[in-house]
Structure 1
Amino acid sequence: MERKNRPAVKSLPLLIGRKPIMEALESGAAMEKIFMLRSATGPEINTIKTLARNLNIPVSQVPVEKLDNLTKSQHQGVVAWASLLNYIDLQAGISHIVEQGQTPLFVLLDGITDVRNVGAIARSALCCGAQALILPTSHAASLTEEAVKASAGALHKILLCRIPSVPQAVDVLKLNGIQILGTQMKGSVPVYDADMTIPSCIVMGAEDTGISKDVLKRADVLIRIPMVTAFDSLNVSVATGMILYEAAKQRILEHK
């Protein structure tokens, strides 16, 4: 994991110091992540935490060695990665899609931390007609240049919705009448039998653990990709593409 994460540190511009980061947050600047010294205190630190929480920007409490590795400048206990991309509030994203007269098709990433997988998923999502990716602020990949490259630019064209937690995202989606399609190798419904012509959100989980237990409980349908052989391990980005293609096929056929 460390080997994969190293290039990401170099691929995002840095904001350094309490006042510059606080002012950037107050201006609404997009940020990918804030690293804060565990022992940092003071009114500016409190303001940064509040603004970050309101803007759904992840804050990671770290030891001083982490900050020193990010920059040789006087960081005052806080460093931020400026974002290469823009994010939108989930409810705003849902409202925008509905107002455009489109039927929502979203992808919610639950624990996917590999930037190349996220990029590949964004590429498939855009090609198959999904309008948005939903990303939690914790246990999620930072969208670096590597992710943008893997997406072939799709991350600049698809809506990116960031929300504090996956269960909270599920609750917001369900309140808006969007069905939750959880993915599981032992899901009860083959992907081709799930109705994806209605407003839907496909939840994709981490390759090692799958989607979280909270999401399994909240899902309206648990779908699976039937396999021809007993070898049932698919890369998460490949699996997402297969499911999204089924969604696209159903929606195309519906309008013929």
Structure 2
Amino acid sequence: MEHETTIFGIRAVIEAIKSGENIDKIFLQKGLRGDLSTELEQLLHKERLNFSYVPVEKLNRLTTKNHQGVVAQIAPISFYPLEELVTNVLESGKTPLFLLLDQISDVRNFGAIIRTAECTGVSGIIIQKKGGAPVNGDTIKTSAGAIFKIPISKVDHIKDAVFYMQASGIKVVAATEKTDQNLYDVSFTEPCAIIMGSEGKGINPSILKIVDETAKLPILGDIESLNVSVACGAFLYEVVRQRL
């Protein structure tokens, strides 16, 4: 089903970028050629926008119109600058609880995480500009509208957010099975940020090296890991338990 924030056509997408539209993700047809497509690709790299190369069948599913090999999705929300988001939370007087998502790629997981984050009082969500799930109609539906109630910030790299959090006096905890520390042995009563990793690769090893603490959920069955949205819920509700 075509979403109202979908735009298509090479020139239309170029003009949307130049006019400052809040573009979330762009899909380019593999093997696209021509001066206009070259101009578009150069603009995408210059503006560091989130894009991917896909087969024409994918574009045909996104829109039934003459897309010319390009479809873009305009985010239905406005993203907050990281500095503004953190400052606003710190000045609010509430104990900060941020959620950093390291390239969560499944829209349904993303939406479910946003819904749980809103229910557990998360102060804001930080995502990476490239590699993550788009903010589209499916995200809105899965989040049950929670995406309109919680501020979201985009950064060039999750590392940027980690360093900024630490410089702001916020402890950063990574949710990973690559640790001996149990979730229930970590204190979440002070200002903190939790990082959740992607469905396939988890948290980038370079990020694990710079966090303040790592923690894992105890797994009692034979399957070695949980769905990321379920694991995120367990982490967030442990924060709620400790802070109540």
TM-score over 0.5 for the alignment? Answer: yes
Q: Residue 99 of structure 1: CA displacement?
A: 2.0
1:97 and 1:140 map into 2 onto residues whose CA distance is 24
TM-score (norm: length of structure 1)? 0.80
Q: Residue 186 of structure 1: CA displacement?
A: 3.9
CA contact (8 A) 2:24 2:134 kept: yes
CA contact (8 A) 1:182 1:223 kept: yes
- Which of 183, 198, 202 is equivalent to 2:190? 198
**For residues 229 and 132 of structure 1, do their structure 2 counterparts lie closer, same or farther at Cα, with a shift above 3 Å needed?**
same
1:19 and 1:88 map into 2 onto residues whose CA distance is 28
**For residues 63 and 149 of structure 1, do their structure 2 counterparts lie closer, same or farther at Cα, with a shift above 3 Å needed?**
closer
State the AA in 2 paired with 1:204: M
**For residues 181 and 85 of structure 1, do their structure 2 counterparts lie closer, same or farther at Cα, with a shift above 3 Å needed?**
same
Report sequence identity in percent.
34
Q: Residue 18 of structure 1: CA displacement?
A: 5.1
2:154 and 2:93 map into 1 onto residues whose CA distance is 23
2:220 and 2:149 map into 1 onto residues whose CA distance is 35
Q: 3-state SS of the aligned residue for 1:146?
A: helix
1:92 to 2:84 alignment:
yes
- Which of 34, 46, 52 is equivalent to 2:47? 52
Describe the superposition over 1:153-209 as per-residue Cα deviations: whole angstroms up to 9, x where unpaired: 111111111112222222222222222111112423221221212221111112332
Unmatched tracts of structure 2, length 5 or more: none
Matched residue, 1:73: 66
Q: 3-state SS of the aligned residue for 1:218?
A: coil
1:177 to 2:193 alignment:
no
CA contact (8 A) 1:110 1:206 kept: yes
Matched residue, 2:107: 115
- Which of 198, 219, 226 is equivalent to 2:211? 219
Describe the superposition over 1:3-62 as per-residue Cα deviations: whole angstroms up to 9, x where unpaired: xxxx6xx33532234554344345443221123576565796488437733xxx4133x3
1:11-50 mapped onto 2 (5 Å cutoff): 11=3, 13-17=5-9, 19-36=11-28, 39=33, 41=35, 45=40, 48-49=43-44
1:29 and 1:129 map into 2 onto residues whose CA distance is 29
State the AA in 1 paired with 2:72: A
CA contact (8 A) 2:189 2:242 kept: yes
**For residues 59 and 172 of structure 1, do their structure 2 counterparts lie closer, same or farther at Cα, with a shift above 3 Å needed?**
farther
**For residues 40 and 86 of structure 1, do their structure 2 counterparts lie closer, same or farther at Cα, with a shift above 3 Å needed?**
farther
Flag as ranges the 4+ runs of structure 1 deviating above 4 A. Answer: 36-44
TM-score (norm: length of structure 2)? 0.84
**For residues 216 and 243 of structure 1, do their structure 2 counterparts lie closer, same or farther at Cα, with a shift above 3 Å needed?**
same
**For residues 168 and 131 of structure 1, do their structure 2 counterparts lie closer, same or farther at Cα, with a shift above 3 Å needed?**
same
**For residues 243 and 40 of structure 1, do their structure 2 counterparts lie closer, same or farther at Cα, with a shift above 3 Å needed?**
farther
Unmatched tracts of structure 1, length 5 or more: 1-6
Query: How many residues end up aligned between the 2 structures?
Result: 239
2:205 and 2:234 map into 1 onto residues whose CA distance is 23
